[in-house]
Amino acid sequence: AYSFGESMVIDNVGIQPAYLLLAPIAIPLIGAFLCYLIGHYSARLRNLIAVSITALTLGVVGILIPHLISDLTLQVSFEHAYLFYTPVLALNPLSYTVLLVSIFVWMLATVYCTSYLPEESRTNRFYFFWLFSLSADLGVLLSGDFITLYAFFELLTLSAFVLINHEQKRESMAAAKKYLFLGIFGGFLILGGIALLNNAVGSIAVAPVNGLTEPLALLIAGCMILGFGVKAGMYPVHIWLPDAHSVAPTPASAVLSGVMIKIGAYGIFITALFILFPTGLSELAASLSGLAVIWIGLITMISAVFLALMQTNSKRMLAYHSISQMGFIILGIGCALYLGEGGALGFAGGLFHLVNHALFKALLFLSVGAVFLRTQELDMYRLGGLWKAMPATAAAMAIGVLAISGIPGFNGFVSKALIHHALLDAQHIGGWILLPAEAIFIIACAGTVASTGKLILFTFTGERKTPISKTGRTPLPMKAGMAGLSVAVILLGILPGLGIFFILPAIAMMPFSWQDIAYLFGYLGFGGGALYTPYSVSIAFIEVIAGVALFFAYVAFGWLHWEKKIPKQISLDVWYSRGTGALLSASHIIGVDLLTRIQQATLVCDSSFRNWYTAFSMKHQKRVAYLSSFEAEILIITLVLGMYLLIFLIGQNAG
């Protein structure tokens, strides 16, 4: 069932395979530089370029690639004598699914962004790193080997650092540093897993791996899952995410939650299914690894949803929901691992929820951003009564809340139903080990209903507590971004077969039983309406009733406000602070404060260079003026080409 060979592009089109895979990476990268340069002259033209670049990338990914590559499978190698390894770009149905939803969400967030960000000195920088992050994000998904994936993964970490620290305040700097520290830590774990993999099998291809010994397979998978889990917001390495979402500009928060953490989920997918699945683990080891991932997902779901219930800040609450919803995705992956050949339902649910979460979470962040733009307030307790002044935003937020809560008719219900069915299958096999799993699933869903219901009710109903400081209506580009996501959320809810149609090729490339794949294929009938069974709808109804009861208990009795009473000894943030403090203390003990010394050395070098250049340019004004002229550039280019030709001829004669 694995199909990772090369696929030829239609010859008469005249497009080389390498260009087809390079285009989604190169177009945003070129656009980043264009936006930065043109933004100094025209903000309107820069915004137009940013939207056009993302729309063009969406066209390449959504139209050109499936038109030219019918099976969505392509692999291109870039060999060069001066490279220590051969970079590989590859496409497969799994990566294509994440690729398509990523660029779709990013494009709509870019449209929204053009009316959200105020014009300031840092706006051009924001757009540069905005598109640079998109390029790195798509680069991870198109990587055909783990070294290339790691390089793009680190570029994404560094560029997202700038987006998080856009405001350059103390809070944003602290959140960005925490993100960078944990991101680099996760990157090192991934790099360690890559080194072990290459040493064991001599290959770093992002493809199914065979020939690993059982302990080594578990060690490599453990390193990679934890490393990718940092980016995904997986418990217990999730602590960067609430701080980062709270301080980042709303469009950045939308793509952080809707797209970037999906890179971590994608990494967990390929690790679990390419490294653990085909390695030939014993039945006991396969069961234990699947159970471990299931329980990581369950713990991530339940812990984050109760932390979300405690929040008063809208963006921070949505950040905790990103962690909780990531738990659902990890749970689907765990069920697929645990059930083995019968795990197609878990794989489908996890991948479908990845797509759905990208859509409804981006929608929720954009609607919260629209409220903040008009009120300058993120504390939902200080809002209220805004539905008359902001009906379009209220409708968008309501759609997002209904979707994340798993209400039938919206996309969140579909993927949660698939994951729930897979969990029941796993529970049937696991017995007492998974006895509380379904109860945890339902409680997590109920907590989602309660906390997101609190968000929309406290924001738009009741008496208005905060005046609207911004006059006029929500700008049209912001409404357009929210409307596009709303349509996608509803469409995948009422016609879930569309989503299943996209994820079936990804399922078919894994060694699941054809009976399970055919069972999923049956959902395509009636637009996927077969998912709406009396049982699945009744479970959703129970979750809603429990969520409403939890919300009223929260309002009536003031429950779930014990965030300040949590002992510091069990707070992960405290342990993070202690860990980083210990590293800094260790650096002082050995007499080297590395970051300070590097900064000081950089300042000295920069100052010395500036002084030298000033003195040189004053002394040789005419020569400097000539070197910057067009004639000098032609001369330099001619000399460089001549030297290259000479070296080439010498090399040919030597050969």
Which DSSP string corresponds to 50-80? Answer: HHHHHHHHHHIIIIIHHHH-TTS-EEEE---
Instruction: Supply the pLDDT for residue 178.
Output: 83
69 belongs to a structural domain: yes
Tokens of 223: 């390193």
Q: Are residues 91 and 216 in the same domain?
A: yes
Which residues are bridge partners to 91 per DSSP?
74
Q: Are residues 218 and 265 in the same domain?
A: yes
202 belongs to a structural domain: yes
Residue that finishes a domain, picked among 541, 561, 581 = 561
CA distances from 29 to 35, 53, 117, 628 (A): 10, 9, 21, 26
144 belongs to a structural domain: yes
**Residue whose entry in the numeric block shows the structure tokens 């699947």:** 290
Q: Are residues 469 and 600 in the same domain?
A: no
Q: How many CB atoms lie within 10 A of CB 155?
A: 17
Q: Are residues 336 and 442 in the same domain?
A: yes
541 belongs to a structural domain: yes
Q: Are residues 551 and 598 in the same domain?
A: no
**Integer Cα distance of 335 and 421 in angstroms:** 10
Segments in 434-533 forming alpha helices (H): 437-460, 476-494, 496-508, 514-521
Q: Are residues 327 and 423 in the same domain?
A: yes
Note down the domain range covering 70.
11-561
Q: Are residues 548 and 600 in the same domain?
A: no
Segment 376-418, tens digit of pLDDT: 888 888 887 788 888 898 999 999 999 999 898 898 898 898 8
Question: How many alpha carbons fall within 13 Å on the CB side of residue 158?
Answer: 10
Residue that finishes a domain, picked among 510, 537, 561 = 561
**Integer Cα distance of 620 and 528 in angstroms:** 75
**Integer Cα distance of 171 and 139 in angstroms:** 30
Q: Are residues 641 and 531 in the same domain?
A: no
Regions of the chain with pLDDT less than 50: 1-14, 569-570, 587, 590-592, 654-655
Instruction: Supply the pLDDT for residue 1.
Output: 38
Q: Are residues 633 and 549 in the same domain?
A: no
Amino acid at 290: G
583 belongs to a structural domain: no
Residue that finishes a domain, picked among 514, 545, 561 = 561
Segment 216-243, tens digit of pLDDT: 888 888 889 998 988 888 877 777 888 8
32 belongs to a structural domain: yes
Closest CA to 90 of 28, 153, 33, 20: 20
Cβ 312 vs Cβ 289: under 8 Å: no
Cβ 177 vs Cβ 228: under 8 Å: no
Strands 74-77, 88-91: parallel, antiparallel or unpaired by DSSP? antiparallel
* Number of domains the chain contains: 2
573 belongs to a structural domain: no
Q: What are phi and psi of 405, to 5 degrees?
A: -80, -5
Strand, helix or coil for residue 471:
coil
Q: Are residues 443 and 550 in the same domain?
A: yes
Question: How many alpha carbons fall within 13 Å on the CB side of residue 438?
Answer: 17
Tokens of 620: 């040789």
Strand, helix or coil for residue 339:
helix
Q: How many CB atoms lie within 10 A of CB 61?
A: 25
Q: What are phi and psi of 75, to 5 degrees?
A: -140, 130
**Integer Cα distance of 343 and 269 in angstroms:** 13
Cβ 128 vs Cβ 36: under 8 Å: yes
Rg (CA), the chain: 26
Print burial letters for 335-352: b (CB count within 10 Å at least 16), e (below 16): bbbbbbebbbbbbbbbbb
Segment 347-363, tens digit of pLDDT: 888 999 999 999 999 99
CA distances from 416 to 191, 199, 399, 506, 633 (A): 33, 39, 16, 19, 61
345 belongs to a structural domain: yes
Closest CA to 182 of 231, 220, 253: 231
Contacts of 288 (CB under 8 A, 6+ apart): none
**Cis ω before 236 (30° cut-off from 0):** yes
Q: Are residues 96 and 209 in the same domain?
A: yes
Q: Are residues 203 and 118 in the same domain?
A: yes
Closest CA to 290 of 340, 255, 245: 340
